[in-house]
A = this chain, B = another copy of it.
Amino acid sequence: MNVTIIGGGSWATALVKILSEKNNKIKWWLRDEQAIEHIKKHHHNPQYLSSVFLHPSKIKPYHNIKEALKNSDWVILAVPAAFIENVFKDLPLSIFENKKFVSGIKGLIPSSNQLVTEWLSNTLNISKNNIAAIAGPCHAEEIALEKQSYLTIASETIALAEEFASLLACRFVKTSFIADLQGVEYAAVMKNIVALASGITHGLGAGDNFQAVLVSNAILEIERFVDKIAPQKRCINSSAYLGDLLVTAYSQFSRNRSFGNMLGRGYSVKAAQIEMKMVAEGYSATKCIYEINRNFNVEMPILDFTYGILYQNASLLKSFENLKSRLV
């Protein structure tokens, strides 16, 4: 298969590694030209997962997006949601015809609060029959180490999900597939809000007992939200939803958790952002989901807590007291 992978970070590199385990021909689009030169010369990504060997006969890096997309059967997206519009802008829609798109992006398009797959359908005119998403708990760093991982492919077209699941499966990645595209995408976005809340409450002195209650309440909150916004039968405790929440909420390396922790210790949002030199994904996710929920009014104590602190300058201690009383 001809596979194009869009993005140069850890997750993109991990997907390149996984997909090159089978005999796919991989065109890899990266924005960073220095990284491309380095990969061509040394067969390693200089900045991300740099231990991974990138087989030159299977993997070709590209800077030109048109070249990267030419003749590809599958296009895998792995850039931050905020950058995706820019990657594809000014391209004729005809270039996307007859290609299958898989979003590996866990985030909403900030300008429109759309899921990435909604944007693919609405803006690039991709048919729902050609859209899937990758879900499941997966630190890219563990893919570099070939640690056993599990990924779930979701699509409204189950045959497409099954097809990509079998393309993605390899020695250290087991795959499965489900028909719940919106559900897994929203859950993936919301887990970052939970990681923020986990960081904030940790910064405020909460311990492991509280964390366990927070995460139990969080999966119920996620279930309430996705059941309302995308009603269908789903098992929220599958690894695509609960597993993904766990790997993030219990990660010591989560940027969202670190960011939240700084807020809990009294840093202002601005100061925490400057200190971290980046914006944690949960920051914009909190605003997007809060705005979407204005139309749905789902009971969401963890979202309310995080939104208040990030966007309403709410008192940390009062917010924490309120959250404690709303959890069970």
**Contact surface of A with B, Cβ cutoff 8 Å:** 136-139, 142, 145, 147-150, 174, 176, 205-213, 215-217, 219-220, 223, 235-239, 242-244, 246-247, 250-251, 324-325, 327-328
Chain B hits for A324, CB < 8 A:
148, 174
Q: Output the least CB separation between A283 and chain B (Å).
A: 23
Q: How far is the CA of A319 from the CA of B324 in the complex (A)?
A: 42
**Does the CB pair B212–A247 fall under 8 Å?**
yes
Q: How far is the CB of A313 from chain B (nearest CB, A)?
A: 23
Query: Are A239 and B212 in contact, CB atoms less than 8 angstroms apart?
Result: yes
> Residues of B contacting A251 with CB < 8 Å?
208
Chain B residues with CB under 8 A of A207: 139, 142, 145, 147-148
Q: Are B209 and A247 in contact (CB under 8 A)?
A: yes
A318 → chain B closest CB, angstroms: 15
Contact partners of A145 in chain B: CB under 8 A: 207
A250 contacts across to B, CB distance below 8 A:
208, 212, 250
Known interface pairs A145-B207, A235-B220. Does A212 touch B328 (Cβ–Cβ under 8 Å)?
no
Q: Provide the residues of chain B in CB contact with A217, threshold 8 Å.
A: 239
Q: Report how far A215 CA is from B237 CA in the complex, Å.
A: 9
Residues of B within 8 A of A220 (CB): 235, 237-238
Among A210, A236, A238, find the residue whose CB has the most chain B CB atoms closer than 10 A: A210
List the 3 closest pairs (A to B, CB-CB), nearest first: A137-B212, A212-B247, A147-B207
Chain B positions within 8 Å of A209 at CB level: 137-139, 142, 147-150, 247
The CA of A279 and the CA of B111, in the complex, are separated in Å by 57
CA distance A191 to B219 in the complex (A): 18
Q: Which of A142, A213, A239 has the most CB of B within 10 A?
A: A213
**CB-contact partner of A216 in B206, B243, B327, under 8 A:** B243
A65 and B147 CA atoms in complex are apart in Å by 53
Min CB distance A153 to B, Å, is 13
Contacts of A246 in B (CB 8 A): 211-212, 215-216, 246
Given contacts A139-B207, A250-B208, A324-B174, contact A150 B239 (CB under 8 A): no
Tell me whether B210 and A149 are in contact (CB under 8 A): yes
- Cβ contact of A242, chosen from B208, B219, B239, B247, cutoff 8 A: B219
Complex CA distance for A174 and B145, rounded to whole angstroms: 42
Question: How far does the Cβ of A53 sit from chain B's closest Cβ, in whole Å?
Answer: 20
Chain B hits for A147, CB < 8 A: 205-207, 209-210
